[in-house]
Structures are given as C-alpha cells and as structure tokens.
Amino acid sequence: MGSLVARAISRDKPLAAVVGFSVVLGLWNVSQYFPTAGYDGVEHMQYADGLIFGGNLPHYTGEYYTPPGYYTVAGVADWLARHLGVGEWHRAGMALNVAFLALTVIAVHRLALELWPTRPRRAIAAAGFIALFPLAVKDEAMFHPETLSLCLTTIALLLCVRTFSDARRAWLLGVTLGLAQLVRAPALWAVAACVLALAVGRRFKEAVIVVVIAGVIAAPWYIHQYGTYGGSPVFNRPTVQKPLFERRPAAFYVDPGIPAVVSAPYKRHFLNRLLPTTYSEAWGDYFGVWAWNGGGNGGHGRPGATARVELVVQSLVGIVPTMLALLGWIFLAGEARRRPERLPVVLVPLFGVASYLLFTVSYPTPDGDVLKATYMLTAAGAWALGFAAALDRLRGRWLQGAVAVLVVSALAELPFLLY
C-alpha cells in the first residue's frame, strides 16, 4: 500500500498538493482539538482504553454496539504514545484519522481515473472535494471511527471496479469489506452495493468469493453481539414502541427549514427536521462540537457573533457542491445502466441515504441527536465522484462561474476548517 501511495503521488503533482494540504490541515486540527470535544468523545476513548489496557469490550455502556476495529488500532496507537511519554496520548488515535483521510483522498483519485481514464481533471476535482468536505475534516480531528469506515469503503469501491477487469481482486475486495464491517455498521452498504453490482455484471463467482470472505471476517463480531444482547447483531439499541411511520411527523421529512438553514444553521433551529439539520451538520456545525460550544449553558448554548458568521458562510458554501454532487450522482446512475462497473459508486450513496433515513426514523430523540450527517460519511467518496462528474460536464460560462464560486467557497472555508 505504501509503494502504491508513493507512486500515485509522485506521478501527479496536483494530487500531491491536495494530499499534502489535507495532512497539514488534519495534523493542525488534531493538535488543537481536545479529544473529549468530539461526538461522544469520552465514550469512544473509554472503549479503546478498555479494549487495549483492560482487554474488555464495553457491556451495555457507551459504544458497546460499535465494532472494535477502530478502537483496536487507535488504542494501540494510544498505548505507544503513552509509553513514549506523550502528554495527551489520545491524540495518537486521533492522528490516525489524518492518515485514513489522506488514503481516502488517494483512493478517490484512483477510483476516478479507473472510471474516466481520459478525464484526469475529474480525478483531481473528486480528490479536492473529499479533502475539503467539512464533515470529513471535522470527523478526522475527532477520536471517532467514521473516518476509517470512509477509508475502507472507498478502497472497497476501487477494488470492486477493478474486479470487473481482474477477477483476482475479488478476494482482496472481500477482505476489505470484512474489515470495514469490523469498524462501523454502515459498511454493510458497501457490501450490498459491491455484491449487487458484481451480480448485475454477471460476475457471479467473484460475488460469491466476496460474500464468503467478508462474512467469515465479520462473523465473530455479529455472533458476539447476538449471543450477548440478542436482537439485531448489527445495531442493538432500544427504541420507542410505535409503528415505524408513526415515529416522525410529516414535517420531519419535508420541512426544508428555510430561511434558518442559511441564516441560523445551528442547534434549536429547525429541531428534528431531516433535511436542514443534516445539511447544516454536513457543511457546518449544527450541534456545536466544532466552531462553538453547543453543550454550554446546560445544553442551551448559542454561538457567538463570530461563530454565527462562520456557520452562515459554511451553509452558503455548501449549496453549489451539494447540487453538483446530486446532479453528478444522477449522471452516474444513467451511465451505470450500460457500465455495471460503475454501479457500486451509484448504490453506496443510495443505500446510505436509505439506511440513514431508516435509522433516524427508527430512533427518534427529543434533541434530534440522531440527525448527524456523519452517519453517512462512509458514502462521501462516492459523492465526491458525483461532484467531479457534474463539474466536468459544465462548459463555457457555466464552468467558469462554477469554478469561480468553488474557489471563493474554498477560501471562505479555510478559517472554519482551521480549528
């Protein structure tokens, strides 16, 4: 893997610049961001500490329903940092996410070249999208497993595309998907997308190999969860005893939260509204874990004047790339009808949105805490390809205008991305 990364970067100076920027930005944020400040930071660190220092999985506490993959590697990194005398040694586990995001950027670039070998600017546009996506940058600086899930899923998409031309890749694809399931439950989207795409492309032997290997690797975790807690071995959490479609009002699904989604994109506005909360959390800091302290004043904190300006800018910045990513996904879906090797890139975002919708409806909370866009971060690599595909289709003044907006947007993001 190291030699492949080195060759990819050495052959492409723009890619080297994007990866270098991502690494510098990530390391800076890790050095500034306190480990307990992220999503459920204390629970995630306790999981890693208990696993590595105590040899125990959590039981009915904290993140007990989350697989141990990330906590194993992060815990080992923390153990090494602690024995080397590093002050806040949990930052070692956070720093791993910088490497995982850098690998994701490279994988997205290679995946774009696999899909469009004669369109190198699509590859660099996709790499730039994932490197600058605020949700990815935000999660990268946390003690959190989602960045590793994103990394493994994106690598799996690359391997799946290559399996269509080289059946020998199937076993490596199965291993990657198996490991991804040991990090986060959303990896199941990638398993389903890759297997279905191979089946549609009549690569039945390869599909069976992937299912068997991925299943064997992930089986011990699912068996442990089912044997210990019963119920669903994927996500075993109690919920309200109501029929599914009675758990959320109609406004939850359709209210766009306008104009507050732009003018006041932070906690307490459009509470428990699917679209505006998810958008604001993807491009900004709706819950106040990054640019402002949403937990202050007994959970009723408000962002200060500077933070409010940053949040408004972030909400505006996200409009154009979001629209391009959605349009690009539609273009990819059309291409996948004739090119089944592109189908997994289409299916991962589709399954991700469907799974996120099912999750947020199944587990309603008064404070809207389940409406975190990070639950869909696993699909961000595929969305980056959609963004690149749409941007590359623009011509003339449309292209010039879009590039100008994106450049200004990127510059406007920098103060926010630098914690």
For tokens 């920027």, the residue is 21
Sign of CA dihedral 183, 377, 137, 141: negative
Peptide bond into 134 cis (omega under 30): no
From CA 195, how far away is CA 322, in angstroms rounded? 28
With contact defined as beta carbons under 8 Å apart, do 419 and 136 qualify?
A: no
90: number of CA atoms within 13 Å, CB side? 21
CA distances (Å), origin 270, targets 251, 276, 291: 10, 7, 19
293: tokens are 């302290």
pLDDT tens for the 419 residues of the chain, in order: 555 555 555 568 889 999 999 999 999 989 888 888 888 889 999 999 999 988 999 988 889 999 999 999 999 999 998 888 777 888 999 999 999 999 999 999 999 999 999 999 999 999 999 999 999 999 999 999 999 999 999 999 999 999 999 999 999 999 999 999 999 988 898 999 999 999 999 999 999 999 999 999 999 999 999 998 887 777 777 777 788 788 899 999 999 999 999 999 998 889 999 999 999 999 989 988 887 777 655 556 788 888 888 899 889 989 999 999 999 999 999 989 889 999 999 999 999 999 999 889 988 888 888 899 999 999 999 999 999 999 999 888 888 888 887 887 777 767 667 66
3-state SS class at 338: coil
Taking 3-state DSSP, the helix, strand and coil percentages for the chain, each rounded to the nearest 5, stand at 70, 0, 30
**What's the pTM?**
0.93
DSSP state of 268: T
Task: Name the nearest CA neighbour of 52 among 23, 75, 78.
Answer: 75
From CA 91, how far away is CA 139, in angstroms rounded? 13
